[in-house]
Chains A and B, each alone.
Chain A
Amino acid sequence: MPAEEMGKVTDRMRFVFAVSSLIFLAVLAISPFKDYRREWKQYKRSYLRFAQGRPDTKRLTADYSPDIDQIWLPGLNVVDRCTTCHLGITQASLADKSVPQPFRAHPPIPHNVREWGCTICHRRQGPATEVAEAHESTLAWEQPALPAHFIQASCGACHQSDLLQTPQLVKGRQVLAELNCVGCHKLQGIERPAMLGPDLSSIGTKVSREWIYKWLKEPRTIVDKDGNVTVNGVETEEEPRMPKFRLTEDELKALSGYLSVQRVKALVPYKISPAVVTAWSKNPELISQGELRFRQMFCSTCHSLAVTRAGETKLIGGDIGPELTKVGSKVNPDWLGAWLRDPESYLPHTRMPRYGWSDEDLYKVTQYITTKLFDSDLLSNVPKLDPPTDAEIQAGRRLFTEKGCASCHVIEGISPQKDFGPDLSALGGKNASELEFGTAKIPHNLLSYIQAKLQDPVSVNPAARMPQYNWEPGDLDAVTTALLSMKGAPPTSALQNLVVPRKEVSFHPTGSFAEVYERYKCYTCHKFNGFGGDLAPDLTYEGSRAHRQWLIEFLKNPQTLRPTLILRMPQLNMSDKDAATLADYLSMVMQHPSVNPAATDAKQFTPAMATLGKQLYEVKYQCQSCHTIGGSGGYVGPNLNNAGGWLTPAWIEAWLKNPQALVPDSIEPRRNFTDQEIQALTAYLMTLRAGSKPQKTANNFGSQNSAVGAGR
């Protein structure tokens, strides 16, 4: 290039410069354009357009900002940008299904979504700003969406005490406890009780080797290929507590041999007086009398039996104790007599009460059980088993710990392997990469893993020691929910303060009451200061509620106050002294702090008040819709035929003021009575007496479908 032309700008250079500038500008513009086209920005703009078309535009856009919204809760590890696109999440007017997603309002829940964020319940990826990345599981995040069906698991991560609003979670925790999962696994919030499976230290005195063999091979509860659960061939909805272990023939022989020689406590047969035996043994009424007694004592409150009605055989009765349809061909008759007289001496921590037995009753009932609850074919499929050899016993002893039997059952001299199963107390927070899926053809996520493992433990791990359980579909999902809720200790102290722990309660009375209370196992069904079962009424305030004399009569001859119940208080054949001990303690100690029966003077109630009360009861408030007096009225509340003989006036007054203050889950609605009306109603109820004995209620219901709600 000549020197004079240096520095001269030619047209050609201008053109090149212009084009490259344009290209440069275009390249520069890509970035803002891409930014403008970002997914979340498009949602933002489309929300604005959507809000314009709504009548309440102003309210819908009040909080609008064009940037990314973020909910940041450092103590909870929450960084949620979901509300960037889910803009209408707290707008009540956008609740309708016609509102397009992602703008629809969240259904009403007890927490404010803007305060808590979304991933704390729904999982998924909070910090993501792209639809796919937020909602799908990616390798980097590994927390897939929790399906709404299991959402209560998220409530349980913080609310470790049971909530009314989360029935599925509560059920799951109950099933985990009932099935003794803590025998092998560590579970958050479920403590190991004093007894899991029965103590087997003296099992050899109770059942034969053949029976043990059959039980181990096929626990009597069987699920067929259609998923129907049967106990002894009878259909049921109950889940067996004893699962099926996958045992070989040799293992079955060794374990049954080992168990059949366990006789730590020798059996001391009880000799029924020969006079009773001679008087009854030839009596044709013996068995039917025994059956009658069995029914009168209400054994069915805890034990179920197969009953055939209208061609359909069903198990009827409670599930606190074992099902008894074929128990006569299971247990040694001498053992049965000794057991019924004193269950605790064979099995410490049993929930079976010690009934008061006369020789006559004991003879009749044991004869009924061994004759009628009997099936000669029960052991017909079991091979002939000789007395066990030493080698079998040794092998059985080894298997007892190796198979995990010792984790639930006690045998003297055997200590269970520590941490037999994996610790599950933080299972709910695990990432898929921490789980072994083996060759299982299931989606690789925690939920599928838990369900596959529960349904068939060997499907995800062929070497699994976990036995086979049978699940009702509802229970499977409930247990899955409970396991998903166990996310271990909260990550930070900030969250620790939010966790509501499970309440530990126990009630250990002392003195003569304690002895009677332990003997009759009152706590199997009743609650005392929060401790005990929930089959029957809570007795924490019984002293405020019932007259002492009524308690004594009731304990000696329990009658149901609720016509719809089929599970009833057993007839324990209590002595006068025992009944008085219990009634004294209940009326002196188990009182509501503000309901003192001694403080209300019954003389203040005049006949005029009672007349007014009767009118209020029948006309103004129509209490007969739920309560029975005489022969008419409803079945929802207890019958009030003997209200005056049963309830103290102080309790009636307090109850009418606010039933839920005395029994929090009572369904009796709290009314707006005036003080005068309360006095009148109390006066009327006090006039209702049924003589010295509580009136037996006519059981109007032939059908006995279910016993849920017993004692309520």
Chain B
Amino acid sequence: MREIRNAIIADKIKQLFLEANYNIGSDVLDALRNAVENEKSPVGKDVLNMIIKNNQLASSEELAICQDTGLAVLFIELGQEVRIVEGDFVEAINTGVKEAYQEGFLRKSVVDDPVFDRKNTKTNTPAFTYVDIVPGEKIKITVIPKGFGSENMSALAMLTAAHGKEGIIDFIVDTVKKAGPNPCPPTIIGVGIGGTADKAMVIAKKATSRPVGSHNQNSLYADMEKESLIKINQLGIGPAGLGGTTTSLAVNIEYLPTHIAGMPVAINVCCHAARHAFGEI
């Protein structure tokens, strides 16, 4: 049994949210640079260059890449040999988020009630955390500051076996088409297939944090990723939706076993500012 103090966890989470909000991953930056080379639209090229320049500026001056510094989403793998001491685990997570957003000049975007008062909590908390208990004595943390321009374009379809691969690809492409310029293309499309309605969306969100350029280890799913991406980039939406051949940088698919009667497909859309950071305690 390894003891980990809550203060250590809070501190790690704070650092990870600062890192994610200021620095875009090299996978996304490389994909953007590649896209500039291949983009057919001159305006599209200009937009991509502006995005790259913005990412470099944010990193060098420690500024938020995007003013929408997102809802704080965390995926935590908690080793079952870990004993968390000196305080409340959930509180430690929220403390880390609060300190990052208050001290790091990040926007506080959380309202306490979705329908009525919509009063800002001023701390960017509560965070939304998914915990998996795993073997071992480490805590592995992925943080995703998730912007809502793209989140609002997400979709869920409870398809059936008869829809098959083609039905899934059609749903993915159609969702991107409907979103048009709204989610800040070029996007990263997270797709979760199987499980339940809720679980499909959770793995879709996690899929947005998988490195751009990586593929599902199952070649059947990897092929579906590649095929969907080609079709999406034939939609013509382009960078910032102003026309072009770069509408998405990646389609990342994850899957789970599911019920004999169903085939849930969840799509979580992420803007080009696909921010995430990973750390281990």
Q: Do A and B bind each other?
A: no
B contacts, CB < 8 Å to A: none
User: Which residues on A are within 8 Å of B, measured CB to CB?
Assistant: none
